[in-house]
Amino acid sequence: MKYIAPSVAFFAAAVSVRAQQPLYAQCGGIGWSGGTTCVSGAGCTKLNDYYSQCLPGAAAPSSSPTTPSPSTTGSSPAPTGSSVLPFVGGVNMAGYDFSSATDGSFKDTSVDPPVNQFSHFAQQGVNIFRIPFAWQLMTPTVGGPISSTFFQRYDRTVQAALNSNPNAYVILDVHNYARWNGAIISQGGPTNAQYANLWSQVAAKYASNSRIIFGIMNEPHDVPNISAWADSVQAAVNAIRAAGANSQVILLPGSSWASAQAFPTEAGPYLLKVTDPAGGTSKLIFDVHKYLDSDNSGTHADCSTNNVQVFQTLVNYLKSNGNRQALLSETGGGNTSSCFTALREELAFVKSNFPTLVGFTVWSAGAFDTTYILTVTPNPDGSDQPLWTQAVRPNLP
């Protein structure tokens, strides 16, 4: 979870290169200029030409992990096993969600994300963008038709993202916390049919584009009946497929703010039962979030954990339940030294656990200014935030 609040200024201090890289940190790869040795008990292991990582008990790679190259973008690992996606790494592009409250209400202060940011990030290797929107913008009346005025705005942004990279994916994310104006879907609020109607209409618009990913709800929270929420998720999945969008990935969100930590014990057992009318489960990927500050709120500049143990537990759970997959669609930190380290280690762990963890999108760029507490918005001169350069960019595909 995160809030749009008055922000504070941060220093852009450079992080000194450590003599030994910590567990799960990057230690090599094309273009890497940091440390190449690992702490005791870990070895620098080559995962691909662009990425080597300090893994427990691992032996050092047989070839040098620091092969020089002019390339800055790398290449995505190819899909493995049942994965229908390559490894994806990218960023949220906020704006159409501005003033979406956690009770599902909305005051229209939406802003179009700057389209020039898509090419800026794509040139660095980003191959996925998440574009949130308020449900009330897309269908001003619950269960009603799409607003053609808003859809034109939104689609221009989506197309800019798709056009930034021939292999770019775009997550369409309805940012309403499983609610409409304070009432929970199918639990006192909109019916499952009204919720499914939203996705039936949106899916029909993008049915022919396999690089669209449907993020069917941002951060459900305080949901009394999680089994009933799984039924709502199933209704959205059915509607998307019935609209002819059969090739696309659908992201299934859990409970407790889509918590990666809570997933195995809360929503996971219910969402595992959601079926795909298009066949199989490889295009149903679980949508999880995890921040790194002291209360997991994404409202503090400092990071207190790298979340590696949380994601190891999640990986174990997914592997033991049919080798399912999850995508970390929100995580982030402040432009502080603690977050440079913790976020870099978290994203490195995600990358090393593909295809179980299929990728990430950090929060957030887009219409946020450069003083927002979790900003990765580029500076006016085109330079990037230190968090982006220190933690995110080294872990892009």
6-51 pLDDT, tens digit each: 333 332 333 333 468 776 666 776 556 778 988 888 888 775 554 5
> Can you tell me the distance from the alpha carbon of 215 to that of 206, in angstroms, rounded to the nearest whole number?
13
Return the active site residues. Answer: 219, 330
Regions in the chain scoring below 50 on pLDDT: 3-18, 50, 59-76, 78-80
Name the one residue in this structure whose structure tokens are 């059969």.
Answer: 246
3-state secondary structure of 52: strand
Question: In the chain, what are the domain boundaries?
Answer: 17-68, 85-395
3-state SS class at 393: helix
pTM over cut 0.85: no
The domain defined by 85-395 carries CATH number 3.30.1490.100 = no
The secondary structure of the chain in percent helix, strand, coil, rounded to multiples of 5, reads 25, 20, 55
Would you tell me how many other CB atoms lie within 10 Å of the CB of residue 192?
18
Among 94, 334, 316, smallest CA distance to 218 is for 94
Helix H segments across the chain? 116-122, 135-138, 148-163, 192-206, 226-242, 268-271, 308-320, 337-352, 386-387
Q: Is the dihedral of CA 216, 256, 101, 379 positive or negative?
A: negative
Q: State which amino acid sits at residue 64.
A: S
What digits encode the pLDDT tens for the residues 135-185?
999 999 999 999 999 999 999 999 999 999 999 999 999 999 999 999 999
Is 45 within 8 Å of 58 (Cβ atoms)?
Answer: yes
d(CA 366, CA 380): 13
Structure confidence at residue 296 (pLDDT): 85
A 10 A CB-CB count for 84 gives 16
